[in-house]
Amino acid sequence: TSPAPTAVSHHWELVSRPSGWPVPEDFRLVEVELPALAEGEVRVANAFVSVDPYMRGRMNDTKSYTPPFGLGEPLTGGAVGRVVASRTPDLAVGDLVSHDRGWRDVAQGPAAGFRRVEEVAGLPSSVHLGVLGMTSMTAWVGLLVVARMQPGDTVFVSGAAGAVGSVVGQIARLRGAGRVIGSAGSAAKVALLTERYGFDAAFDYHDGPVVEQLAAAAPDGIDVYFDNVGGEHLEAAVEVFNRGGRAALCGAISVYNATEPPPGPRNLFQVVGKGLTLQGFIVSWYAQEHGAAFAEEVGGWLRSGELTYDETVVQGLDRTVEAFLGMLRGENTGKMVVAV
Ligand code: NDP
């Protein structure tokens, strides 16, 4: 193989750490020249880049399960694209790959960082960022492995019209949940939950105290809670849980931009008398052991039409920050992606 010529890439950088809600001025789009490909490297033209809630945490200078983004360095994140130059026998020009060098149009690096993924007939490659990718695996492992949902359980999902939540509700239904309840942030999303994703009941968390709306939707209590939101939602779930209830604590988006600690949950003592299990998890911990089973089951449901999905696609790399902020505000239904 011979080194491909240099190429131009555009990437986003973080220039200042947001305090509270990020603003466009915290980011800048930079043009760089990529060096000629070294032996063992590939160059990929990204088709879609992902914007995800966890990225907000990486913008803070605090220790977490992933290190903070560096100031003045390219931002990273999930992406899917096509190999345009290769100096490795493992990947050929034209291969579709999934990788973590998002927030840019052209990615380049050692082949080990790029994973070949299948083309799915009739579906855009963005499905590898959502319904066949990380967010959907999060739904599957959180519900089935972490919360150990059993047939007949009453399941409550917050953030239910988003990438993770919309799949949680459908998996619960497909795996025999007795009743599936979701919360989301608008009347249109609430309608979608019952009409398209098969939830039995749904409510808009803006319409009144979550605990009251949840108790009304779950007259016999809940057995499983899939928490994407934290704060008031988690407190409500603890209140409405039946004995032996299990919560998969997946995220707490209601507090990601908060400058003050959240007011709750204030009722954790109920964990004792109800024998509750509240378990946090990070999807990557489960990928090795459960990735194949997830892909087989969810891929099968997708092909058979039993599972559906939505994407909100923002056009243009230059609108990535807009897409990220829009996702944090709830402008997405299903997975938010940027078409490069
Ligand atoms: P979503 O597609 O659900 O997008 C985020 C959604 O959050 C918005 O659409 C918005 O919907 C909702 N939201 C924003 N602010 C609030 C608020 N104050 N209260 C309630 N809802 C709010 O994102 P993902 O599906 O990618 O992620 C969902 C959750 O899962 C996040 O907490 C994320 O951090 C977590 N996650 C965790 C992983 C893990 O390994 N543990 C892996 C992947 C995701 P609405 O209009 O309904 O308000």
Buried b (16+ CB within 10 A) or exposed e, 187-207: eebbebbbeebbbbbbbbbee
Residue to mutate, 164, 207, 229, ligand 1, most ligand atoms under 8 Å from C-beta: 164
Average confidence (pLDDT) over 240-254: 98
| C-alpha 332 to ligand 1 mean position (Å) | 10
The set of protein residues with a Cβ atom below 6 angstroms from ligand 1 is 52-54, 135, 138, 159, 161-165, 184-186, 189, 205, 228-229, 250-251, 253-254, 281-283, 327-328, 330, 332, 336
How does DSSP assign 7-64, residue by residue? EEEEEEEE-S--SSS--GGGEEEEEEEEPPPPTTEEEEEEEEEE--THHHHHTSSS--
Phi, psi at residue 228, to the nearest 5°? -105, -5
> How many angstroms does the Cα of residue 129 sit away from the middle of ligand 1?
15
Please tell me the predicted confidence (pLDDT) of residue 5.
Answer: 83
**The CATH number of the domain covering residues in 134-280:** 3.40.50.720
> What are the pLDDT digits (tens) for 162-193?
999 999 999 999 999 999 999 999 999 999 99
**Looking at domain 7-127+310-339, what is its CATH homologous superfamily?**
Medium-chain alcohol dehydrogenases, catalytic domain (3.90.180.10)
Residue ranges, comma separated, of all CATH 3.90.180.10 domains in the chain are 7-127+310-339
User: 329 CA to middle of ligand 1, Å?
Assistant: 10
Q: Which residue in the block uniquely carries the two structure tokens 């992606």?
A: 337
Q: For atom 32 of ligand 1, which residue has the closest CA? A: 251
Q: Does residue 1 surpass a pLDDT of 70?
A: no
**pLDDT score, position 135:** 98
Domain ranges in the chain with CATH number 3.40.50.720: 134-280
CB–CB of 228/142 below 8 Å? no
Report the pLDDT value the prediction gives residue 262, as an integer from 0 to 100. 85
C-alpha of 59 from chain center: 17
The percent of residues above 70 in pLDDT, for the chain, comes to 99
Which residue owns the Cα nearest ligand 1 atom 4? 162
Over residues 240-244, mean pLDDT: 98
Q: What is the pLDDT of residue 263?
A: 82
Q: What would the mean pLDDT of 92-119 be, rounded to a whole number? A: 97
